[in-house]
Amino acid sequence: MKTALATAAAIAAIAAAGLVQSANALDISGRLSAFNSDGAAGFTHVDQEGPRAEGIKRILEEKITLPPGFKIELHALVPGARSMAVGPRGIVTIVGTRENKVWSIADHDKDGVADEVRDFAPAVDFAIPNGPCFSRDGSLYIAEQNRVLVFPEAESHFDSPDIAAFNLIPQGGLIPTEEESYYHSARVCKVGPDDKIYISLGQPFNVHPPEKVELYDLVGIGGIIRLERDGTGREVYTHGIRNSVGHDFHPVTGELWFTDNQVDWMGDDIPPGELNRQTAAGQNFGFPWYGGGDIRTKEYAGETPPDGLIFPAVETVAHAADLGMEFYNGGMFPEKYRNAVFSAQHGSWNRTTPVGARVMVTFIDDEGNASMEPFAEGWLDENGEYLGRPMDVAELPDGSLLVSDDRVGALYRISHEGG
């Protein structure tokens, strides 16, 4: 009885705070007060030369394998590099972290190597700003642990230390503050073909307890929420996921596809990771009743799962940690890669024999059937040591592919000869 009353009270508080449905449009008065109009905050610049850069280049040249015709090179040194967002005009790439920095990368001469790496909006106090995404008109959204900021015309003004920013979702408005955790709090966002913002909300447990199910389902924790670009119309678009750190929309169908990291401590070889296909709003992908694929969790083994659950389009190797993903739209790579998914496997952290640490490609046929295979690998050496851990992928305007690596703090660029 106490649990039910506590959940009801929490739901009432969430509704009052606007977490279920944002009532107010984005307001200029919501501008953050921490900015310095004189640019006094200054920038932190990242040196792009030296022994570390040379060591990374050697690894790429000697260890990383790709299909014939492809090559991989160091694009930039970026500390803690995580999710990436390429500006619609190709002026700047914004890179989030799980720390307190967001980085801007500029390749002014378009030679495939960054000319400048420096922190973005240094006057802002960021908290786990993992998830940047651009709208088509150049506004930048950054999904943090428990806030979403918007920077209008960020691509044109990224080099200003006091760039204008507004609260799209204010601090404490993304999830209830008592649910904050460093665990599974790396949000990702994407502006969809409907011009709405989609934000993933990982749940902060290995498997969350039954008393959290109602609250999380309402708020969208363990799901993906959708809202208008002015902050209104918040809804839970996706249910039943554990911790998705990568999603994108099929260029032809507009369907949402996303990766999901599955339950730990069930064994080395179960449960599988997931690449999922969502065909309608509100679909449920099975967590916490299923730990991955059709493997039931022990915590919910005695419960009957909801009807109509959606199972993965692709089951991936257990514990490889499938993270960032993007559909390929460019013209540089051979035609067979058009509309394929490139995704990053970060690599296992507690498996007896490590797996992952590679870039995968998934081909999807006209019926939506998908098959995944390795594309770039070699960051996991023969001794089970990580030489790098790919985290996200992003396409540059020239059709080449960026790969972020948060272990070594770098972005790589994959290109194709003749492209």
pLDDT of 14 above 60: no
pLDDT band at residue 33 under the 50/70/90 scheme: very low
| Ordered DSSP codes for 98-156 | SSS--EEEE-TT-SSS-SEEEESSTTS--SS--EEEE-TTS-EEEE-SS-EEEETTHHH
pLDDT of residue 18: 53
Question: Would you say the pTM of this structure is higher than 0.85?
Answer: yes
Question: Would you kindly state where each structural domain of the chain is located, as residue ranges?
Answer: 2-416
Assign a CATH topology to domain 2-416.
Neuraminidase (2.120.10)
pLDDT of 115 above 50: yes
**Per-residue model confidence as pLDDT tens digits over 171-180:** 999 999 999 9
pLDDT of 22 above 50: no
Tell me the backbone φ, ψ of residue 60, rounded to 5 degrees: -60, -40
pLDDT of residue 26: 45
Mean pLDDT along residues 374-378: 98
Q: How far is CA 178 from CA 14, 91, 112, 204, 212, in A?
A: 11, 39, 44, 11, 12
Cβ neighbors of 347 (< 8 A, separation 6 or more) are 320, 321, 354, 355, 356, 357, 379, 380, 386, 389
pLDDT of residue 160: 87
**Per-residue model confidence as pLDDT tens digits over 173-225:** 999 999 999 999 999 999 999 999 999 999 999 999 999 999 999 999 999 99
**Residue for token digits 């390429």?**
86
CA 243 to chain centre: 10
Q: What spatial distance separates the first Cα and last Cα of the chain, rounded to whole Å?
A: 64
pLDDT band at residue 64 under the 50/70/90 scheme: very high
Tell me the backbone φ, ψ of residue 53, rounded to 5 degrees: -60, -40
Nearest Cα to 324, choosing from 409, 399, 391, 224? Answer: 391
Mean pLDDT along residues 307-317: 98
pLDDT of residue 5: 43
Check the CA dihedral 112-119-129-27 and report its sign: negative
pLDDT of 37 above 70: no
The answer to whether residues 140 and 154 touch, using CB atoms and an 8 Å cutoff, is yes
What distance in Å separates the CA atoms of residue 98 and residue 102, rounded to the nearest whole number? 9
Give the H/E segment covering residue 219. Answer: helix 213-219
pLDDT band at residue 162 under the 50/70/90 scheme: confident
Tell me if residue 247 falls in helix, strand or coil: strand
pLDDT of residue 40: 47
pLDDT band at residue 41 under the 50/70/90 scheme: low
pLDDT of 385 above 50: yes
pLDDT of 19 above 80: no
